């Protein structure tokens, strides 16, 4: 049985996703266990400058699928490249990041290879015969599942929840071999194409990538008050989020929703303002490192999960907090 | 325009979940079940497209007898026909096995669009729609918030980190629905009455021409080994007092403990 580990590295416009570096770090740890080579695959156009940015994470080999036709993401075009890399590297495990791209791409790859895929993984444990036991929260985090690959078909494909797996801290540069792969994919092979990418005028920190999230719920009383959260988020360099009730009330767009039917986030700090802490909300933020809650209701379930809770009125606490943070920031 | 929407019955998002005695499944006996919320968006979109372009809407589910409730719900919303794929051999299926079952049932039908929810809440594997697309060799876009259908082509919006991708693809195609796509309707009383008369076809493994080794535990490549309760977060500090006082303490916590400043 092969013992190679293949990691798909996501880049957009030459920017490598942090979640992919986390995947590569986990790949390094697993490759040390299997004793096999760690292979990284980058797909896109004009990639030569990117190999240096990942070499420190210790890949033994870097494969590049570099073509103008791959400049824009498509699940069909990218899956063909990954399938080719799998053919060449014969990995026992294929690791991806469960980003927006990973969400779209991983099942296309799994279908094409007719291989098993486990998404939104929060922990990987190497078992016998290099078969993985994968931890994944289920039922909005009310249950933790351990899922095992049967090994009937390889590779085992895992998509890792961003911000959960630690980045390697030391430089493990191994002078990786650089290899070009080419599947000869043509424009006609890609039926579903990106026509354009719409960007909001003000570049905001994306919720799923934010290290700090300041989130508001029903206690914010109205959309106009989310500006207060934005001000605190701006001071901290974070993003704003919202509970389902705030979104359903029409106070803020659904793309800010955190929870079971919204986004899953794992920031270092999650500040819940006027959020009671319904179980479906926990599903989206319970893997945050620190949870802070500000709520008037002393019985709000959010306090059970909070590392630091304030029983109080957000409209009184936030303005003072804002000033205090400004002072601290100014040093 | 003929549309097939694939749906799943899932535990209500607010339901308490208890792990069953076998430690690999949940105790469904006392859990209230509902149509997967993301599937509601898929069904709603199918109905809106039917209202605009004509054709019919078929809903399909893989499940046991009780999944009929979810199918009836879709029929009451306005879907024309329903298909329940049910067979003892399906038990233990993983995402790929479920996708094989759906693809085999969909393949002989006449369709222009296949719609799914972007994921089934509960197990949240987020795979079945795209896997069906791959098996049927169709283009897809996952997690869409907008869909426009033009002559033989579709334009779909998909949110990514900090931006929106606009995809264009030919039909037939598969789309999986994200919140924001539409506002699902409630079934009317008339709809509920009419749903009782609409047909629900039940098909077995043999009916869809698959073999037992393709599906169920035998066909699965992943298997739940154990379910356990989530780790309990240790209870932190909860304070109450003058706003200025507590805000200062919080700021201190953020800089000294969480070290984010």
Task: Summarize the confidence of residues A197-214 as an average pLDDT.
Answer: 86
Where does the pLDDT of residue A330 fall: very low under 50, low under 70, confident under 90, or very high at 90 and above? confident
Distance CA B1, CA B233 (A): 51
Domain ranges of chain A: 4-189, 207-330
Residues 6+ away with beta carbon under 8 Å from B234: none
* Residue owning tokens 């991806």: A96
Distance CA B261, CA B259 (A): 6
**Taken in order A233, A239, A241, A247, is the CA torsion positive or negative?**
positive
Token digits of residue B95 = 């995402």
Mean pLDDT of chain A: 94
Any bridge partners for residue A214, and if so which? Answer: A240, A271
Q: All domains of chain B, ordered by start, with CATH?
A: 3-219 (3.40.50.620)
Q: Are A291 and A272 in contact (CB under 8 A)?
A: yes
Chain A contact present for B214, CB below 8 A:
no
Residues 220-259 of B with CB under 8 A from A: 220-231, 233, 235-241, 243-244, 246-248, 250-251, 253-255, 257-258
Closest residue of A to B256, CA-based? A328
Cα A207–chain centre separation: 10
Closest residue of B to A305, CA-based? B233
Helix (H, G, I), strand (E, B) or coil at A174: coil
Chain A contact present for B191, CB below 8 A:
no
- DSSP per-residue string spanning B156-202: EEEEETTEEEEEEEESSEEEEE-TTS--PPPPPHHHHHHHTTS-EEE
pLDDT at A203: 67
Distance CA B191, CA B198 (A): 10
pLDDT at A156: 98
Give, in order, the Cα–Cα distances in Å from B33 to each of A48, A63, A166, B59. Answer: 52, 46, 37, 18
- pLDDT single digits (tens) A95-119: 999 999 999 999 999 999 999 999 9
From the CA of A45, how many Å to the nearest CA of chain B?
Answer: 18
Whether the upstream peptide bond of residue B147 has omega within 30° of 0, thus cis, is no
Tell me the chain B residues in contact with residue A108 when contact means C-beta distances shorter than 8 Å.
130, 133-134, 140
Q: Are B220 and B96 in contact (CB under 8 A)?
A: yes
Distance CA B246, CA A309 (A): 10
pLDDT at A261: 86
From the CA of A76, how many Å to the nearest CA of chain B?
Answer: 8
Distance CA A250, CA A223 (A): 8
Token digits of residue A281 = 């909300």
Tell me the chain A residues in contact with residue B261 when contact means C-beta distances shorter than 8 Å.
236, 325, 328-329
DSSP run (H or E) holding B97? helix B95-106
pLDDT at A33: 94
| Residue A50: other Cβ atoms inside 10 A | 20
Query: In the CATH hierarchy, which fold is given to the domain comprising A207-330?
Result: Rossmann fold (3.40.50)
Residue ranges in chain A assigned as alpha helix (H): 18-34, 51-55, 75-89, 100-113, 226-236, 244-248, 279-285, 302-305, 314-330
Burial A104-126 (b: 16+ CB within 10 A, else e): bbbbbbbbbbebbbbbbbbebee
DSSP A199: -
More confident residue, B100 or A188: B100
Residues 31-90 of B with CB under 8 A from A: 37-38
Where does the pLDDT of residue A247 fall: very low under 50, low under 70, confident under 90, or very high at 90 and above? very high
Distance CA A283, CA B122 (A): 10
Distance CA B6, CA B161 (A): 27
Query: Which of B134, B179, B221 lies closest to A150 in CB terms?
Result: B221
How much is the pTM? 0.95
* Residue owning tokens 């400043």: B261
Residues 6+ away with beta carbon under 8 Å from B35: B7, B8, B9, B10, B43, B70, B73, B74
B139 vs A76: CB contact, 8 Å cut-off?
Answer: yes
Helix (H, G, I), strand (E, B) or coil at B222: strand
Residue A183 has pLDDT above 80, yes or no: no
pLDDT at B170: 96
Q: Which of B217, B238, B253 to mutate to test the interface with A (most CBs of A within 10 A)?
A: B238
Question: Whose CA is closest to A291, among A299, A282, A300?
Answer: A282
Q: Which residues of chain B have pLDDT under 50?
A: none
Tell me the chain A residues in contact with residue B166 when contact means C-beta distances shorter than 8 Å.
194-198
> What phi, psi does B21 have (nearest 5°)?
-60, -30
Distance CA A216, CA B243 (A): 18
Distance CA B202, CA B87 (A): 9
Chain A contact present for B93, CB below 8 A:
no
Residue A1 has pLDDT above 60, yes or no: no
Do the domains A207-330 and A4-189 match in fold? yes
Could you say which of 3.40.50.620, 2.40.10.220, 1.10.3720.10, 3.40.50.10540 is the CATH number of the domain covering A4-189?
3.40.50.620
pLDDT at A217: 97
> What phi, psi does A150 have (nearest 5°)?
-80, -25
Query: Which of A142, A269, A307 lies closest to B230 in CB terms?
Result: A142
| Residue B143: other Cβ atoms inside 10 A | 25
Residue A222 has pLDDT above 80, yes or no: yes
Task: Summarize the confidence of residues A130-145 as an average pLDDT.
Answer: 92
Whether the upstream peptide bond of residue B172 has omega within 30° of 0, thus cis, is yes
Chain A contact present for B189, CB below 8 A:
no
């Amino acid at each position: 049985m092969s013992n190679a580990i293949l990691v798909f590295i996501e880049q957009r416009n030459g920017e490598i996703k942090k979640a992919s570096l986390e995947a590569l770090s986990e790949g390094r740890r697993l490759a040390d266990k299997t004793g096999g080579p760690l292979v990284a695959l980058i797909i896109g156009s004009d990639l030569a400058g990117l190999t240096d940015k990942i070499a420190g994470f210790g890949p033994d080999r870097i494969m590049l699928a570099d073509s103008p036709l791959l400049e824009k993401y498509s699940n069909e075009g990218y899956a063909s490249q990954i399938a080719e890399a799998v053919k060449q590297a014969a990995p026992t495990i294929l690791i991806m990041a469960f980003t927006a791209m990973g969400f779209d791409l991983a099942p296309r790859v799994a279908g094409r290879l007719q291989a098993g895929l486990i998404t939104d993984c929060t922990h990987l444990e190497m078992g016998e015969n290099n078969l993985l036991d994968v931890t994944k929260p289920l039922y909005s985090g009310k249950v933790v599942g351990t899922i095992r690959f049967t090994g009937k078909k390889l590779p085992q494909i895992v998509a890792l929840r961003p911000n959960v797996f630690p980045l390697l801290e030391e430089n493990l540069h191994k002078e990786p071999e650089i290899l070009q792969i080419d599947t000869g994919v043509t424009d006609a092979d890609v039926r579903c194409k990106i026509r354009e990418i719409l960007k909001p005028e003000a570049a905001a920190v994306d919720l799923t990538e934010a290290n700090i999230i300041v989130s508001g719920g029903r206690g914010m009383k109205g959309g106009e008050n989310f500006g207060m959260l934005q001000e605190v988020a701006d001071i901290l360099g974070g993003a704003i989020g919202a509970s389902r009730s705030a979104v359903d009330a029409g106070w803020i767009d659904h793309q800010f929703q955190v929870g079971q039917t919204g986004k899953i986030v794992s920031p270092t700090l999650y500040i819940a303002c006027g959020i009671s802490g319904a179980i479906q909300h926990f599903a989206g933020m319970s893997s945050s490192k620190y949870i802070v809650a500000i709520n008037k209701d002393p019985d709000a379930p959010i306090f059970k999960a909070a590392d630091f809770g304030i029983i109080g009125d957000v409209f009184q606490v936030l303005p003072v907090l804002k000033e205090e943070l400004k002072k601290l920031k100014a040093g | 325009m003929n549309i097939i929407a694939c749906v799943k019955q899932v535990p209500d998002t607010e339901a308490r979940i208890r792990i069953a005695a076998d430690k690999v499944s949940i105790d469904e006996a006392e859990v209230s079940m509902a149509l997967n919320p993301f599937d509601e968006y898929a069904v709603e979109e199918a109905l809106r497209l039917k209202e605009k372009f004509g054709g019919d809407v078929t809903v399909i589910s893989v499940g046991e007898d009780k999944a009929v409730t979810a199918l009836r719900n879709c029929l009451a919303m306005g879907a024309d026909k329903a298909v329940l794929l049910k067979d003892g051999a399906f038990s233990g299926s993983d995402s790929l096995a479920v996708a094989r079952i759906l693809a085999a049932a969909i393949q002989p039908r006449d369709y222009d669009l296949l719609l799914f929810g972007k994921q089934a809440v509960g197990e949240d594997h987020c795979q079945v729609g795209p896997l069906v697309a791959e098996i049927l060799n169709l283009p897809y876009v996952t997690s869409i918030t907008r869909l426009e259908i033009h002559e033989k082509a579709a334009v779909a919006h998909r949110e990514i980190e900090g931006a929106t991708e606009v995809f264009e693809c030919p039909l037939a195609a598969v789309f999986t629905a994200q919140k924001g796509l539409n506002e699902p309707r409630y079934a009317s009383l008339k709809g509920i009455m009419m749903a009782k008369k609409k047909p629900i076809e039940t098909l077995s493994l043999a009916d869809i021409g698959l073999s037992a080794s393709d599906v169920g535990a035998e066909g699965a490549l992943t298997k739940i080994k154990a379910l356990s309760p989530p780790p309990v977060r240790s209870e932190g500090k909860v304070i109450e007092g003058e706003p200025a006082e507590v805000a200062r303490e919080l700021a201190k916590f953020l800089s000294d403990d969480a070290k984010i400043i």
